[in-house]
Chains A and B, each alone.
Chain A
Amino acid sequence: MMRFLLLFSRQGKLRLQKWFTPMAEREKKKIIRDMTTMVLARQPRSCNFLHWKDLKVIYKRYASLYFCLAVDNQENELLALEVIHRYVELLDKYFGNVCELDIIFNFEKAYFILDEFLMGGEIQETSKQMVNRSIEASDMLQEDDNSDWYEVELFG
C-alpha cells in the first residue's frame, strides 16, 4: 500500500500532504523535513527511486512541484510513477493547464480529486473519465446547496 503522498515546491514549501496511515503530528513533521531534504538534494538526471527506512520513495518533478510518494517495499515502483502521472493528469484536466498556483489557491479541490482517485493507500478508480465525472457531480451538488454568499465569492 501507499504510505503517504507529499507535494512540495523547489523551496521546500509543502503544498499537499496525504497520509494513509495514522501518525503523530511530530512524526509527520519529521518525515516532511526528511523527504524534502532528501529529494531536493538529488541530481537532475538521477533515478526516481530512493530507499528510506523500510519504504520505497518514488518522486517526480513536474515544473516547480515535486510529487513524492512513499510505498511499501513490495510495491511496483514503475507503477507508482504511473500513479503520480495519473494524478497530475487529473489535476490538469480539472484546472486546465494546472500550475502550482492552482494547487495553492484551490488546495481543497486538489484533495477532493485525490480522494476520488486513491483511497486507503490503494488506487480507487482506474478510469480518468470516471474520476472527472465524479468530481464534476460533487461540485454541482455543492453549488446546489450553497448560500448567496458563496456564489458571490466564486464570481466576485
Chain B
Amino acid sequence: MSPSVPLQEMIRAIRSARTQCEERGVIQRECAAIRAQFRQSDNGGRSHNLAKLLYVHMLGYPAHFGQMECVRMIASPRYSEKRVGYLGAMMLLDEKQDASLLITNSIKNDLSHSNQYVQSLALCTLACMGSAEMCRDLAPEIDRLLRASNSYIKKKAALCAVHIVRKVHDLGELFAPAARSLLTEKNHGVLHGAVVLITELCERNPETLERFRKNVPDLVQIMKGLVISGYSPEHDVAGISDPFLQVRILRLLRILGRNNEAASDAMNDLLAQVATNTDSTKTVGNAVLYETVLTVLDIKSESGLRVLAVNILGRFLLNNDRNIRYIAMISLQKIVGTDHNAVQRHRGTIVDCLKDQDASVKRRALDLSLALVSASNIRSMMKELLLFLSSCPLELRSQAASGIFNAAERYAPSQRWHIDTILHVLTTAGGDVRDETVPNLIQLITNASELHCYTVHKLYRALLTDISQQSLVQVACWCIGEYGDLLLRGECQETEAVQVSEDDVLDALETVLQSHMSSPATRGFALTATMKLSTRITDNVDRIRSIVSIYGSCIDVELQQRAVEYNALFKKYDHMRAAVLERMPVIEKNSPGHTNGESTGEPVKDIQPAKVKQGGPLLPQQPANQVCDLLDLLGGSEEPLQPSPAVAGTAPGLPANTISQAGGDLLDLLGGLEPAPLAPAPAMPVYEKDGVTLTLSCEKQSDSGLTVTLTASNSTDSDISSFTLQAAVPKSVQLHMKAPSGDSLPARGAAKVTQMVVLNNPNKVNLKMRVRISYNSQGSAFQDTVQIDSFPGLSAAGH
C-alpha cells in the first residue's frame, strides 16, 4: 500500500485536483491508507491520520470508520492524541451514535486529571455532545469542579453545567447553590459562566427565579463596577469594559425584573446610568445600549426610563449603520402596541426608511408604518405609502397593497378619497392585490352614490390608458356597464368634462373583450357591461346586438353561455330586457355571497340547547371524536352508558369542530331522533367469533360524509351484557358515534344491537376503520379488535 502522506501534503494534493473526479480519487486513496493505519498498532502518526480523516469529513465525505479510532485516541495518555481524539469525537460522534457511550469513562477519568488542559478537553467535549445519560452520570463531578478548582476550570465547568441543565432539567436544583457562590468571583470568565448558568436556571424554574431575585443588588453592583470603573486593558473593547459580560448581566436582570416591582426598582438607576453613559459610536456600545433598551421595555420600569429607551431607539433610526436601523425597527415594532404615542414621535424617520436601499430595512419600515397609521395622519401617511408602492420590490407589493387597503378602510376621511386611493393602488399594483378587492371596491362604489359620475369618468380614463391590470379593468367594466349613462352625459362636477360618444365606450369595451391580456373573468365582465349598456344608450343597440351574437359561438364556455342568454334576452324576452338590466341596488357589506363558510354554523348551535333540555344521561361523545389515530384506539374514552333516548346523546356531545360539517350533521341530528334505524344498504359481516357477529352497512350522505351502521348479534346460549363498540379512523377523517341501541345481546339472536357511526372524509383518504368490541359473557370480560378496510357501497378508494 502507498505510504500515507503528511496532513498538509494531503491537503495540497486534494486542492490541486482539477476535477471532482480527481479529488474523489485522491480522497479514496487517502482513506484507504488511513484505514490501514488505524488497523496497525500504536505508531507515531496516529493523531495525523485522524486529523486527515477529519479534513476529509469536512469536505463532505463519509468518515464513520474513524469513530472507534477517536475512542482509542481519547484513552491515550498522550496529550496530542487526546486533543485530536476529542476533536474527532465532537465532529464525528453525537449522542445518537453507539460509540459515544464508550467515551463516557474516558471523560470521567479526564475530568479528574492532574493537568487542567486535559480536564478542559473533557469538559469541552461533554458540553458539546454529552447525552442525557452521560450528563446524569457526570453531574456530581461537574458540581465538584464548580466549587473547588482554579478559575480556568470553573468557567468551563459552569458552561458544562448549563449544557447539563438543558439536557436534564431536574438537575438544575443541583447547581443552584454553586452558581450563587460563583457570583462573588472576580474572574470575568467565571463570572460570565455563572451569569449564563443562573439565567438558564431561572428560565426553567420559577422557584429558582424567586430565589435568585435576592441577588439583584449583587448583579447591579457588578454592572456598576464595569460601567464606571477605569480602563481595564484585558477586557476593553473600543472603550466599553467587557461588553459580553455587560450584555449577559442585563439579560439576567431583565428576567429577574419582569413582572416584579421591587426588583425593577432596584435596577432603575443602573439602567438609566448605562443608557446615558454608554458610548454609542461603535457597534459594541450599541450592542450594550440595545440590550439595555430591551431590558427597560420588558421590566416594570418607570415612565421616564421608558421614554429614554424609546428615544435611544429613535437615535438608532438615524444611525448610518444599516444594522442598527434594522434593529431599531424590530424593537419599535414590538412596542408599537403598548407605547404607541412614544413611537409616533419617530414616525417621520420611520417613513424615511421606506426609501432605504436594503430590502430587510424596507420590509420593517413598511410593517411599522402600517402600524402607525391613525386617523390624524392618514392623508400624509397614505401619500408616502402610495409613493412606496410605486417603487417597492416585488415581494413586498401585495403586503403593501393589502396594508394600504386596510388602513384606507379604517381611517378614510372621505369616500372620494377612499375611492381615489383604491384606484391609485389598482393602477400601480393591480396584479398583486387580493381577489376580494374587486367585489369590495364595487360595493364601496355603489355606496357612494353621489360619486358615481366622478368614479365612472375616472375609470373610463384609466381603461383607455392601460388594460393590463385585471382588477382595475374588471371594476372599470362593471362601472361603465352600470353608470354608462352618466358617462355619456359628459358633465361631471368633480372632474373636467370630456365628450364621450357611445362608439367610444363600445370601442373601449370591445378592446377589452378582444385583448389577449384579458383574463376570462375580465372578458365576462366586459360582455355583461356591453349588454347592460343596451338599455342605457340609444343609438348603437344594433352594434351591441352583433357583439353579443358573435360571442354566442365563443370557445370559452362561460362567455358562450352569457352571450347565448343575452341573445335570448334580445330576441324572445325583449320585453323583460329593461327590467333585467336596470340599475343595481346598493350592495350591503357581508352579504351571503361574501361569507360562504361560516353561515351554516348558527342553525346547528340553536338546536343544541333545546336538545340538552330533554334530559337523559349525557353520553360522552367527545372522546370518540378524538380517537382519530388508527393506532390510538383507547383515547381515554368511556363506553357509552345505558341506552338512553338517542336524542339527548348526540347534541350536547358535539364539539365545535364537527359543527363545521354543518349540512351533513344537521340531517343526522334529526335522523338520530328516531330509534336507531335498520341498516338500509346490504349488510356485510365484518366480525364473527365466539358466537358474536358484527355486520356493517353504509350509506353515503354527501360527497365526503358517510353513515356506517354496525349491527351486532349473539348466537351463543348465554346472554351478553355491557356490549360496547369503540371505533378509530385515520387521522384526517372525522368520526362521530351515535348512541347504541342498547348494550345487551340476549342469547340465540333474540335481539340485536345497532350503532350508527358518522364519518366525514374531506381529504378523500383511503377509508379504514378499526373497531374494538368489548363485552361480558358468563362472568368474564372479552375484548377483540377488527379492522375494516372496505366498505360496501364504496369504491376501493373510499370515495
Binding site for B on A (CB under 8 A): 14-17, 20, 22-24, 29, 43, 45-50, 76-79, 81-83, 104-105, 107-108, 111-112, 115, 119-120, 122-130, 134, 137-138, 141-142, 144-150, 153
Contact = CB atoms under 8 A, between A and B. Distances in A.
Q: Which 10 A-B pairs have the closest CB atoms?
A: A78-B287, A120-B127, A147-B44, A149-B44, A120-B163, A125-B189, A79-B287, A22-B94, A142-B80, A126-B244
A47 B129 contact: no
B234 A129 contact: yes
Contact of A119 (B8, B54, B159, B283): B159
Interface stretch (B265-273, B318-326, B396-404): B318-326
A57 to B, nearest CB: 12
Contacts of B156: 119, 124
Contacts of B327: 49, 77-78
B235 A145 contact: no
Nearest to B54: A108
Given A22-B129, A120-B160, A124-B159, A79 B247 contact: yes
A115 B148 CA distance: 22
A47 B356 CA distance: 11
Interface in B595-644: none
Contacts of A78: 283-284, 286-287, 290, 323-324, 327
Nearest to A48: B323
A124 B44 contact: no
A104 B11 contact: yes
Nearest to B12: A105
B793 interface: no
A120 to B, nearest CB: 4
Contacts of B80: 142, 145-146, 150
**Which of A104, A123, A128 has the most chain B CB within a 10 Å cutoff?**
A123
Point out which of A22, A43, A137 has the most chain B C-beta atoms below 10 A from its C-beta.
A22
Given A23-B94, A47-B361, A141 B117 contact: yes
Interface in B115-156: 115, 117, 120, 123-124, 127-129, 152, 155-156
B59 to A, nearest CB: 8
24 contacts: A22-B95, A23-B94, A45-B358, A47-B358, A47-B360, A50-B360, A78-B283, A78-B290, A79-B287, A83-B244, A107-B54, A120-B127, A122-B193, A123-B192, A124-B155, A124-B192, A125-B189, A126-B242, A134-B120, A142-B80, A146-B80, A148-B44, A150-B47, A153-B6
Given A22-B96, A142-B79, A82 B244 contact: yes
A82 B284 contact: yes
Contact of A108 (B15, B60, B87, B95): B87
B796 interface: no
Contacts of A23: 94
B287 A82 contact: yes
A79 B60 CA distance: 31
Contacts of B115: 141
A122 B196 contact: yes
A102 to B, nearest CB: 12
B372 to A, nearest CB: 21
Interface in B311-360: 322-324, 326-327, 357-360
A122 B158 CA distance: 11
Contact of B234 (A49, A107, A127, A141): A127
Given A47-B360, A126-B245, A14 B287 contact: no
Contacts of B48: 150, 153
B786 interface: no
Given A47-B322, A48-B323, A108 B152 contact: no
Nearest to B9: A153
Interface string B54-95: 110011100000000000000000111001100100000011
B299 to A, nearest CB: 15
- Which of A14, A120, A123 has most chain B Cβ within 10 Å? A120
Contacts of B772: none
B653 to A, nearest CB: 38
Contact of B189 (A49, A76, A130): A130
Contacts of B128: 20, 119-120
Given A22-B129, A127-B234, A49 B11 contact: no
Nearest to B130: A120
Nearest to B151: A130
Nearest to B234: A127
A107 B58 contact: yes
Interface string B154-179: 01100110110000000000000000
Contacts of A107: 54-55, 58
Contact of A46 (B192, B294, B359): B359
Contacts of A50: 360
A18 to B, nearest CB: 8
Nearest to B77: A145
B83 A138 contact: yes
A124 B59 CA distance: 28
A4 B180 CA distance: 29
Given A126-B242, A145-B80, A14 B94 contact: no
A50 B78 CA distance: 44
A47 B329 CA distance: 13
B54 to A, nearest CB: 7
A124 B193 contact: yes
Contacts of A45: 322, 357-358
Contact of A145 (B7, B78, B120): B78
